[in-house]
Structure 1
Amino acid sequence: MAENIQWLLCHICQNKTRVKIRKDMEIKNFPLYCPKCKQEILIDVKDLIVTIRK
C-alpha cells in the first residue's frame, strides 16, 4: 500500500508540501500551499497525476 501514496511536490520550487495523495484519490480545485516558497496554486489530482489549473 505504501507504493500507492506520494507526497505532493510544489510545482514552483519542487519541495515537498504537507499533503499526501493516494492512487484512488480525485481532487478538483485544491489550493496547494508550499510552506517553503510561500506560494499557492490550484491543482487537480486524478490517479496520482497532478495538473495545474489556471
Structure 2
Amino acid sequence: MQQEQWVLCPICNSKTRLRIREDTELKNFPLYCPKCRQEKLINVKKFNILVIIEPDAQTQSR
C-alpha cells in the first residue's frame, strides 16, 4: 500500500486540497491555499517539497 500525505501550505502550514503519494513528482506546480488565498510554485519529489522563489519584476533603467 502506498503512503499518502497532505501537502501543507508553505505560508500558513494548513492543509491544502492536494494529497501526494510517495512516488508523486511535481515540477513547477502552482499550489493554491484556500485558507490564506496565496499561490506558490512548488516542486515535489519523494515527499520533499521545495518552494520556487520567483524574482520580482525590476524596472528598466535608461
TM over 0.5, shorter chain:
yes
Unaligned segments of structure 1, at least 5 residues: none
Stretches (4+) displaced over 4 A: none
1:53 CA drift (Å): 0.6
TM-score (norm 2): 0.81
Unaligned segments of structure 2, at least 5 residues: 54-62
TM-score (norm 1): 0.93
1:51 aligned onto 2:50: yes
1:37 CA drift (Å): 0.3
| Higher helix proportion (structure 1 or 2) | 1
Alignment of 1:7-46 (within 5 A): 7-46=6-45
- Aligned pairs, number: 53
| Higher strand proportion (structure 1 or 2) | 1
